[in-house]
């Protein structure tokens, strides 16, 4: 049994949080899917985009970020965001370093995040996962989350000749 603790995030954890993000989200990030179809966007790769999104959550809501520590090292993290108007707290990101997976770290991080959101007055906790992420889909219902919606993400290039034409104006397109 691997021993780990979950503790509040400290700004000094950020480089390790970013490193875990970059190593963990290949195959389970929307930006990764975009890059697979269109290549790096604006000269920035998916990993840089994902690490930046996580960093913003760490900077803007640092007391809502928790890390798992094992052997003095950060091995996982979870971020949260509050919504005092709507009272639906979000869990935007969660990742555990590959060698430490399967030992309950992800589960413990989510539990801690949920507890924190409850303590900050949120009525519901929301988390999203991609259809291609079997782990997320297995984990969240076990912790009490219920599926409420599925969403499709579409992307269209706005530069070059990559297909920005309105297809309904194409010759031969059906018109009323």
Ligand X SMILES: CC(C)(COP(=O)(O)OP(=O)(O)OC[C@H]1O[C@@H](n2cnc3c(N)ncnc32)[C@H](O)[C@@H]1OP(=O)(O)O)[C@@H](O)C(=O)NCCC(=O)NCCS
Nearer to ligand X by Cβ, of 17 and 95: the residue is: 95
| Nearest Cα to Cα of residue 82 among 64, 106, 103 | 64
Q: How far is the CB of 173 from ligand X (least distance, A)?
A: 38
Q: How far is the CB of 61 from ligand X (least distance, A)?
A: 18
Nearer to ligand X by Cβ, of 55 and 133: the residue is: 133
Identify the DSSP state of 145. -
Say if residues 94 and 106 touch (Cβ distance below 8 Å).
yes
Nearer to ligand X by Cβ, of 44 and 107: the residue is: 107
Cβ-proximal residue to ligand X, closest one: 106
Nearer to ligand X by Cβ, of 124 and 130: the residue is: 130
Chain residues that interact with ligand X, rule: CB under 6 A: 24-25, 28, 94-96, 101-107, 129, 133-136, 138-139, 142
Q: How far is the CB of 141 from ligand X (least distance, A)?
A: 9
**Which burial class, exposed, middle or buried, applies to 147 when counting CB atoms under 10 A from its CB (0-12, 13-18, 19+)?**
exposed
Identify the DSSP state of 146. -
Total Cβ atoms within 10 A of residue 20: 25
Q: How far is the CB of 96 from ligand X (least distance, A)?
A: 4
73 three-state secondary structure: strand
């Amino acid at each position: 049994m691997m021993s780990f603790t979950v503790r509040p995030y400290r700004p000094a954890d950020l480089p390790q949080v970013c490193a875990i993000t970059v190593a963990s989200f290949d195959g389970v990030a929307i930006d990764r899917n975009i890059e697979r179809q269109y290549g790096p966007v604006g000269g920035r790769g998916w990993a840089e985009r994902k690490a930046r999104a996580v960093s913003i959550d760490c900077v803007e809501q640092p007391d809502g970020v928790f890390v798992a520590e094992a052997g003095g090292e950060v091995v996982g993290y979870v971020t949260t965001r509050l919504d005092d108007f709507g009272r639906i707290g979000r869990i935007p990101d969660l990742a555990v370093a590959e060698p430490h997976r399967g030992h309950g770290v992800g589960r413990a991080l989510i539990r801690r995040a949920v507890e924190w959101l409850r303590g900050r007055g949120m009525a519901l906790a929301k988390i999203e996962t991609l259809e291609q992420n079997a782990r997320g889909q297995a984990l969240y219902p076990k912790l009490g989350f219920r599926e409420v919606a599925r969403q499709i993400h579409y992307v269209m290039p706005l530069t070059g000749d990559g297909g920005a034409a309105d297809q309904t104006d194409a010759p031969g397109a059906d018109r009323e």
